[in-house]
Amino acid sequence: MSGKRSLPLLQNPRPKSTSNLTVSKAPPNAVEVVNHPHNSKLEVKEGEDVVLECQAKNAKPAAKVVWFRGNQEMTGDRVGSEEIREVDSPSGNPKSMRYTTISRVHFKATSEDDYADFTCEARQEALHRDSPMRSTIQLSVLYPPGAPYIEGYAEGETVRRGQSLELVCRSRGGNPPAQLIWYKNGEQIRMAYRYDLEPLQEKIVPPLKAGNTPESLPTLQVIFIT
C-alpha cells in the first residue's frame, strides 16, 4: 500500500444572495373620520363649532385628502392645512417608510347643515379613480322652529253662523319639529295633528327620510256659532 494520502476534494460553497424588496407605491390601508364610524350621524346644536378630522393611513407616497359637503368640494378657510406623519417600517428599512395624512375641517353648524353629508376622500397614485377610499358622516343639527302662524282666516273676514271653518297652524323648520297646541280663550282644545314629510324647497340637502319633517302642521276644525 502506498504511503500517499488521498485528500478530500473541497467544493466551492454556493454564494449566498440576499435581496430586499422595496415597495415604491402603496395605497392607504384605511381612511376614516376620527371617532366617527363610516355612515354614522353626528348630532350638534346650531351655532356650535364643528371640527372633523380625517386620516388616510399608511400610504406611500402620502395621500392627499379632499373634503366634500354633499357633492360639493369644500375649500377656503373651513379646510385646514394637511399634516403628514411618518410611520416607521417594522423592518426598520427607511426605504419602506409609510405616511399618514391628517386633514381637518372647521365650521359653525347652521340649520342648512341639517341632514348634510360630510365626506373625506383619499387621493393617491396607487388608488384607482373609479374606486376612491372615502369615509362619510351625516350631521343632525338641532335648531328651533320658526314662529307659528295661522292660515284659513283673514283678519276682518265675515264668518256666517254655522259655517265650517278649517284653521291650519304652521311652524316651519326645526329639529326636532315643533309640537303645536291650540287654545281657545286660554283653554287647550282638541285638534287634528299631522306632519308634512316634503322637504322645504329652499333647503338643498338630501331628501328626508320617513319620520323626519321640517314642518309641523296641526289642523283644527272649528264651527263658529253666533
For residue 73, what are the contacts with CB-CB under 8 A and spacing of at least 6? 66, 67
Given a cut of 70, the residues of the chain with pLDDT beneath it are 1-23, 90-92, 191-226
**pLDDT of the residue at 203:** 33
Rounded CA separation 90/20 (Å)? 14
**pLDDT of the residue at 209:** 41
Rounded CA separation 124/139 (Å)? 27
User: Per DSSP, which regions of 113-175 are E strands?
Assistant: 117-123, 133-142, 149-151, 164-172
- ∠ CA 166-169-175, rounded to 5°: 145
**pLDDT of the residue at 88:** 79
**pLDDT of the residue at 201:** 33
**pLDDT of the residue at 12:** 57
Sheet holding 98-108: strands in order across? 30-33, 49-59, 98-108, 83-87
Q: Are 32 and 40 in contact (CB under 8 A)?
A: no
Rounded CA separation 61/10 (Å)? 50
**Residue ranges of the domains in the chain?**
30-142, 146-225
pLDDT, tens digit (0-9, with 9 covering 90-100), for 23-48: 678 999 999 999 999 999 999 999 99
Give the C-alpha distances (Å, rounded to integers) separating 52 from 68, 103, 133, 141, 162.
12, 8, 17, 15, 60
**pLDDT of the residue at 9:** 54
**pLDDT of the residue at 216:** 53
Burial of 188 (0-12, 13-18, 19+ CB in 10 A): exposed
Question: What's 30-142's CATH class?
Answer: mainly beta
